[in-house]
Structure 1
Amino acid sequence: MRVLVLVTAILASAVTLPVSDDYAASRTVCPSFMINCECTTTTTGVLVSCKNFRDRSQLVSTMHDLKGYNLHQFTMMHSNLDIKNGDFDEVKLFNMDVESSNFTARDSFPTGNESNLRVLKFQNSDLDFGHSVAVKGTKLSTLWFNRCRFHRDPTGWFEGLWVQWLRIENCAEMNDFIAANLGGLEKYSHIGSNLASLDRDMLPENSESITELDFSSNMISAISDDFLEGLTNLQRLDLSNNRLETLNEAIFKNFGNRSQLILSNNPLKCSPNLLWLARRLIDGSLLQAHRYVCINEDGSRQSIRSLASSTQSSFLDVEEMIEMFPKPEMLGETFMGIRNTENEDSSRLDIPRNVRILFEDPIL
């Protein structure tokens, strides 16, 4: 009995003894003394969710309680968070989620190369990065803003930051050029944020690492011809749910083979300007991501793929046209939108060679 009591006493005292760095790295069992927080133990670390932090002292106290822990997920909700340099130095923080809170970063955040932070997510929160700068070399797998409001432009905070996937959703106040200073960018989503146009300056100068772009559900009506310049590894571009009426071929001259271009729910107008798209869909150099349609002048919808086949008879060389229609009156009253009132008895049409003719009513 005395031996059992002695062993129990030793185990109890071990909970309060200082731990070595090696042992601290393996602490994955939830502490039992946390206030305003819930904790779940997993095989990869602890998941901690805290709420209603009203001042900085509560955050500091919680981080002290978690000293030496593998903090796999740290969620803060409905709180006032004033973050300063070093606040998370005593924990191994992998994923951080700020929800419905006021978040202020006073100094460098995250703390730089020594940081274990991989996913940083802000949802429905008021953010103020002030003059904070992410320490050069900080690398995140995902940086996610959803329905956030910014007290100050956070562009400076992004300088020197490496992010594999930048996700911006429903943040109308976000600077359009927020991604320009990021390094290592592979995926960039800027969704539902009232973007009106796409320009090359919105992307990092060195964009070879980018494989996916998603600008869906905005108000985009124009794209600069050099927007995709240098994106040699781009495999997927989502422009769905925007206001695009046409697409210049020059924009996509370097868009790789077997790539996806998503254009659903755009008011694209049926015109020769989309012939390049029809041909690339037919030859398979663009993967069929959905049914590509355009709108005719009468409001009817037409498959963009069909433009290539219908155009073969709608556009004729002059010599072919003369052979088929030796008399001008055989063309009808209108020709290229102009009434034919002169030289009605002429047997030939005075049209320069190598001109392509667009009939008002295409021959199908």
Structure 2
Amino acid sequence: MSMPRSLKALKGRGAVTNVQGRYELDVRETFDDGWLREEEEPRVWRTQVTEETAKSILSRNQSPDIPFGVSLNPYRGCEHGCIYCFARPTHSYLGLSPGLDFESKLFAKMNAPDLLRGELSKPGYTVEPIALGVNTDAYQPVERELKLTRRVLEVLQECRHPVGLITKSALIERDIDILAPMAEKRLAAASITLTTLDPKIARTLEPRAAAPERRLRAIRTLTEAGIPVGVSVAPIIPFVTEPEIEKIIEAAFDAGAVQASYVVLRLPWEVNPLFQQWLEAHFPDRAQRVMNRVREIHGGKDYDASFATRMSGQGLWADLIRQRVEKAIQRCGMAGRGSRFRQLDCTRFRPPLVVPQMGAKAKQAEAAGQLSLF
């Protein structure tokens, strides 16, 4: 029996369908009336990038289970197409689908560097490490051309502002010339997400991200440049990536990683149906078994958003995963979650010398040679 057309995987894409966002008023369902032929070519979802002018650039949170309070994301949407991405539901706010739209209809915040300069120039600005590329990967493919992440890093380097980066792209190697001098002053640290060592699983789970071996090489390259690197084993998916926990941590350690952390699979909002569709498309033999274990980890539900348990889960299986991770970290002599981020130096900061988007009076003063007071 062939798989329904709606559940056929698309080459180079993570989501199987373009599931509707939760704010849509009209409900649409795919119905096969017999006129479509199975041999017809599936629709090609080409990547579209929309340049936008953002109103703000720094996001702040007070979540007790997140090791940073400020983050910056140059892009909305992510071409990597990771099916488990917790940021997928944010596309619903744009009237777009968290499914295929999220990984094919991207938005680039072209004024991100200028907005950052404006934030850092405020007299009351309080310095704390900025996490770069948390919601969506700051080094996704479009970054090669637009270089927004690099321009943001140039501002942070100029201001001696601490930054922590998390990515699953080898493109981070391009910016070693900025990150290495910053790391020498304890102003930069990086974390590479390594979900699996199996390239076949990675191609469907994270279709346009760097291959596992390439990420390990990036860890090695960054480490050799003097940049402290951690590995994020996230998410841990029962019976899919979970059997590899120890091997992933050991491989990252051998490549030079000095810190490790993990997150169990999270299925908020539209990520839930998208992930289950992905399971049916790629792992139909174990789909029900995986979801049964996910529910066990989240207290009988597909997902529990409680701060105390959403990242690590609860119950016997969650405890076993935690113990396996902790023991693997101990065997390798690595540090635990968030340690490198907390060690970044916040005392070297200096405000930017040039602030964009100045008012008329400020522009006149600058033209007359008057220096900024801040």
Q: Same fold (TM over 0.5)?
A: no
Pick 1 or 2: higher relative contact order, CA cutoff 8 A, min separation 6: 2
Task: Return the index of the structure with the highest Cα Rg.
Answer: 1
| TM-score where L is the length of structure 1 | 0.26
Bigger helix share: 2
**TM-score scaled to structure 2, two decimals?**
0.26
Q: Which has the higher strand share?
A: 1
